[in-house]
Amino acid sequence: MANSVLTAPATASAPANPYITAQRQFDQAAAILELDPGLRAVLREVRREFTVNFPVRMDDGTIRVFTGYRVQHNLTRGPAKGGIRYHPQVSLDEVKALSMWMTWKCALTNLPFGGAKGGVICDPTRMSQKELENMTRRFASEISLLIGPESDIPAPDVNTNPQTMAWIMDTISMEKGYSVPAVVTGKPLSIGGSEGRPAATGRGVTVVTLEACARMGWNPSECSVAIQGFGNVGSVSAELLAEQGFKVVAVSDVFGGIYNSEGLDVPALLEHHRRTGRVGGFAGSRQEISNSALLELPVTILIPAALENQFSIDNAARVQAKLIVEAANGPTTPEADDIFHQRGVTVIPDILANAGGVTVSYFEWVQDLQSYFWEETEINSRLTKIMQRTYQQMDDLAREHRTTLRMGAYCLAVKRVADATAVRGIYP
């Protein structure tokens, strides 16, 4: 079996539109809350969507035009907050959905932010560092009409990183004529980044996983874990979960995955990944596995940490995990959600599970504005308290309404935004 490849059955249905999924999730919560129809109309649509088509000079001297987006869903509770992703499949509807999810994520954790998201249609794996810098700086200049410490604060997302944020921060600073560190979060420490930020999302995933296990009476040492996606979130989650005693048996990246039912040596795997850039070929693996097959392994806990629409009506019935922790944004379609609920599979929704990143981004923004920085132990302690408190509030509300954790989280978040919208009123 050492060299065999495990694949999942082929599926046929078309990927769900993420914005329709986001709106359907909102509509469910609005119905439970019996939300005023006027407030429903306001909150189920994005406030502002900005599309830019901009030229970039490539290394060979040619000019290429890229398309990018910045969408703001809601700014009622504070400046818009949300990442920027670089991916060939970025679409306006995807960015709109992600901006809406950011609104609920910030409200759920009670951060004083609204929701935004951005993206550029590109394949960063086929671009040089100089081309990425040129594209990032031009995109930052194009969306400078929207972003700023008091209006809209970007952060890293899929295929972007602290260096990307440094280029954006420098571009905006050069146009302003002075340094504006609070214009982005997820920056390098040398220009105002925060301790604990790179590991924040994975740490948040670990905190809520531990909370769920405690409430279910599970011992971490008796729980097997599979993680789809081994970027920053997936790799940090694997490392921290292993430290807590969980048995990580499978991981995957864009090239495929590996599986060992006896458990993977996570520190050795991290070193292998650092050295080779992929999880494939790791000596501690007993079996190669596809990304789709990983989702159907006989594990206790499943952590999707890649892209949207991983669970659909096609594969939800074959998922064997008892607990799903949504480290990715929007990995579960509403149809899959219904199947999981019927089968008794617990799903910790993305708007809480991956909220560690935006929570420490908030800490970074506060530190930049004050020019006063905290130690990492304080940051991790504050993050843990917020994630634990929010899990309890979500769980309590879900029990009160006799609904899923997702709807418990949505009811809490939507009510906070709706209350703020109602008390502020409609201008003019």
Would you name the residues annotated as active-site residues? 117
Tokens at 201, concatenated: 């999302």
The sheet carrying 48-57 orders its strands as 48-57, 63-74, 114-121, 80-87, 152-156
| DSSP 8-state assignment for residue 332 | B
User: What does the angle CA 324 – CA 329 – CA 333 come to, to the nearest 5 degrees?
Assistant: 65
Amino acid at 308: E
* Residues, the chain: 428
CA distances from 342 to 51, 172, 303, 337, 339 (A): 40, 50, 20, 9, 5
The Cβ of residue 1 has, within 10 Å, a number of other Cβ atoms equal to 8
| DSSP 8-state assignment for residue 188 | -
Question: What is the C-alpha to C-alpha distance for residues 353 and 348, in angstroms, rounded to an integer?
Answer: 6
Four-point Cα dihedral 38, 309, 235, 83, nearest 10: -40
Q: Give bridge partners of residue 86 from the DSSP assignment.
A: 120
Which residue is associated with the tokens 């039912």? 261
- Tell which residue, 119, 121, 178, 120, has the closest CA to residue 148: 178
**428: preceding bond cis by omega (within 30 degrees):** yes
User: What does the angle CA 303 – CA 309 – CA 310 come to, to the nearest 5 degrees?
Assistant: 40
Question: What is the C-alpha to C-alpha distance for residues 283 and 229, in angstroms, rounded to an integer?
Answer: 19
Question: What is the C-alpha to C-alpha distance for residues 296 and 110, in angstroms, rounded to an integer?
Answer: 34
User: What does the angle CA 119 – CA 370 – CA 205 come to, to the nearest 5 degrees?
Assistant: 50
Tokens at 81, concatenated: 């907050």
Tokens at 374, concatenated: 């905290």
CA distances from 44 to 48, 78, 102 (A): 12, 18, 13
Q: How far apart are the first and last CA of the chain?
A: 68
Q: Give bridge partners of residue 388 from the DSSP assignment.
A: none
